[in-house]
Amino acid sequence: KVEIEDGPHKGVYGGVANVGRRPTFDKEDVLLEAHIFDFEGDIYGAHAAVSFIEYIRPERKFDGLDSLKAQIAKDSEKAREILAALPPAR
């Protein structure tokens, strides 16, 4: 889950995240990348907290961008299922 802590989009959103080196692009720096489901706002500069709910899979190198996008779609579907199974927030 991603909690945007300030600004006009303040709130908690479902999403999927990756912490890693992006081997498909031959990068070495470790990054946290989060994709917020069904969100189209501009949150650059906003403070956000990412909560990790469940581990989906290890990072791997893909043959190209299309293969990576296909796997991200599968990961996103799995993440939606995981989030849907959580009890409602209080």
Exactly one of 3, 5, 28, 33 is catalytic; name it: 33
How many alpha carbons fall within 13 Å on the CB side of residue 5? 7
Is residue 5 annotated as part of the catalytic site, yes or no? no
CB under 8 Å to 53, separation ≥6 — which residues? 1, 82, 83, 86
Location of structure tokens 């779609």:
73
Residues annotated catalytic, as ranges: 33
